[in-house]
Amino acid sequence: MAAKLGISKHEEPLLVAYRGLEMESDFNYFARRAEEERKAATRAKLEVARQAHLELASRYEDMGQAIAAHARQPVRSHRLELVNPSLQG
C-alpha cells in the first residue's frame, strides 16, 4: 500500500490510522523498529554506525519489553474500601 501511494513504509501505520483502520500497537512498533535497527547494523560500513544501530535496537527492545511487562500487571482498583463492612447499606 505504501509504495502505491508514494510514502515510506514507516509512514504507513499513520495512514492506516488516519483511514480508520487498525493502528499498529506500541509493542509491535518497538519490535519492528528494533528489527529494522538490527538489519541496519548488519549493513553499516563503519563500526561506530553499527554500534549506534545496535544501541538503538536495544533501546527499542527495552521499551517494547516495558510495555509488555506493564500489560501483564493486574489492573488495580481505585475504589475506596470501607473500613467497617457492616456500614455498607
16, 22 contact by CB (below 8 A): yes
Domain count, the chain: 1
Report the C-alpha gap between 4 and 70 in whole angstroms.
37
Range of the domain at 32: 25-71
Instruction: Say if 7 falls within a structural domain.
Output: no
Give me the pLDDT at residue 52, please.
98
- What does each C-alpha distance from 15 to 6, 29, 49, 88 come to in angstroms? 12, 14, 30, 52
Per-residue confidence (pLDDT) for residue 7, from 0 to 100: 47
Position 86 scores a pLDDT of 60
Q: Model's pTM, two decimal places? A: 0.60
In a domain, 80, yes or no: no
pLDDT digit string (tens) for the chain, length 89 residues? 445 545 455 555 555 555 556 678 888 899 999 999 999 999 999 999 999 999 999 999 999 999 888 887 765 655 545 555 565 55
> Could you tell me if residue 86 is inside a domain?
no
